[in-house]
Amino acid sequence: MSGVHTISGSHLSLEAIGAILSANFTLALSAEAETRIQTCYDYLQQKIKQTDQRIYGINTGFGALADKKVPAQDLEQLQRNLMMSHACGIGAEVPAEVVKLMLLLKVQSLAYGHSGVQLQTVKRLIDFFNREVYPVVYQQGSLGASGDLAPLAHLCLPLLGLGEANFQGYKLDSKHILEMFSWEPINLKAKEGLALLNGTQFMSAYGTWCLLQAKRLSAWADVIGALSLDAFSGRIDPFHPLLHQIRPHQGQIQTAERLRQLLQGSEIILQPKEHVQDPYSFRCMPQVHGASKDAIKYAADVFTTEVNAVTDNPSIFPEEDEIISGGNFHGQPLALALDFLAIALAELSSISERRIFQLLAGKNSLPEFLVAESGLNSGLMISQYTAASLVSQNKQLCAPASTDTIPSSNGQEDHVSMGANAATKLYQVVQNLETVLAIELLNAAQALEFRRPLQTSPALEKLVSAFRQEVPFIAADTLLHPHLKSTLSFMRKVEVEKI
């Protein structure tokens, strides 16, 4: 039975988000959060009654239409119109795991009580999360400024009984899902549609998901790299602590220490080496893997700040009697971090592919392509082609999105972040990295068998033993695709931090 995570507006860490997702927690609002949301809503409704002034997005149009005042009797229709007109996303559907995160992060942002939404609206988003009702959201259409308008419009359409949602493997009209649960459609009040559409939850959800995977895959890169080094009969010298004390980048020091730990007790590493130096892809793992670790940490800091922020506009401060229009929806901090993270993860795939190449090259007494009868058998030759293809695509995907901007809304929104494009590119980089590392694991485990009867370290021998329960040694040519799929499945099941 899953637990309950109570959203109170207190700090939400990436680790806590990971736990909510992996343990399938349901969500609930704390009493304090409910009070904040209701207080802000009541303040806004009273403010509307008491003023004739134009307040952006509340009694005005949007974007370039901000100077056009809307009569009081049309304020609810204004918000409904906003939701419908902005739902113009296109392209592939956003994966369910990211949509689930979008719901969580939108609720977290609204729970601070600066958005002026109805309590029932926030609770309905929680209902979607808890019942695994995932609105159909499309990957393309957001500029990453003015919030993720189009994706968030699609996320919130089902509140009104509009659009579609995925539920238990079926794509259904939202009105049918509301009927199924006896939920009434939400009638949006003043400012409410804007509060739902403004915000960075599309970028934030993609970035958060990718960061959770990045930390896992960074750990796998060290483990698989250590196994490859030993299977290659590489040297331990480049990981000596003295070497890294005189160039003390945190990630570099951590990686060198982890590699020493993983290789402790290996019989192979203690064997005399004929070669003086290893190729960079082995020797420079602390420097390369470490730099990626540091980049992951930077991105994690940015996204931790963002998921604990209010990013819709305008922001409402009931205690100060202020409604302030600004630009907290602008995704520039995220766009830069997303581009940086993509580069860091692409580099992990790049150095992994080079280790695959070295293992297959017939060096250090290993047979060419890691098969006994090469010529008759191609062995694992073509696995490197696959890895090279994915690495090349990663390099193409690392062209930064954040350096571009195209003005919109008649020039009112004249600088945008393009962070949404950075987010979806990063998602593909993460998937490609995972596959390249799986190919390296397949090759490293294969190469290790040619070092027998010598043993690698106890930690790595335990890993290889578990791996062999699912992926056999390849003695002669066979279909490699099933073995690669099994390797990916194995990596997703293993708690890599415990190796």
Annotated catalytic residue 56? yes
Cβ–Cβ < 8 Å for 263, 236: yes
Cα–Cα distance between 280 and 287 in angstroms, integer?
10
Residue type, 459: A
Residue given tokens 């008491």 in the structure block: 50
Torsion angle defined by CA atoms of residues 418, 110, 28 and 338, in that order, rounded to the nearest 10 degrees: 20
Q: How would you classify residue 379: left for phi > 0, otherwise alpha for psi between -120 and 50, otherwise beta?
A: left
Adjacent-strand bridge partners of 171: 166
Q: How would you classify residue 490: left for phi > 0, otherwise alpha for psi between -120 and 50, otherwise beta?
A: alpha
Residue type, 108: Q
Tokens of 374: 């090469």
Adjacent-strand bridge partners of 27: 5
- Report the SS3 class of residue 90: strand
Q: What is the phi/psi pair of residue 60, to 5°?
A: -130, 170
Closest by CA position to 347, among listed 487, 209, 218: 218
Strands (E), 207-308: none
Tokens of 24: 């399938």
Catalytic residue among 43, 56, 138, 427: 56
Tokens of 122: 């926030």
Cβ–Cβ < 8 Å for 418, 404: yes
- DSSP state, residue 480: -
Closest by CA position to 350, among listed 379, 384, 380, 382: 384
Instruction: Give the Cβ contact number of residue 153 at 10 Å.
Output: 28
DSSP string, 161-183: T-SEEEETTEEEEHHHHHHHTTP
Tokens of 382: 């073509």
Instruction: Give the Cβ contact number of residue 400 at 10 Å.
Output: 17
- DSSP state, residue 381: H
Closest by CA position to 429, among listed 394, 384, 401: 394
Q: What is the phi/psi pair of residue 167, to 5°?
A: -145, 120
- What would you report as the CA-atom Rg of the chain, rounded to the nearest whole angstrom? 26
Closest by CA position to 155, among listed 189, 111, 124, 120: 124
Torsion angle defined by CA atoms of residues 295, 296, 301 and 307, in that order, rounded to the nearest 10 degrees: 140
Catalytic residues: 56
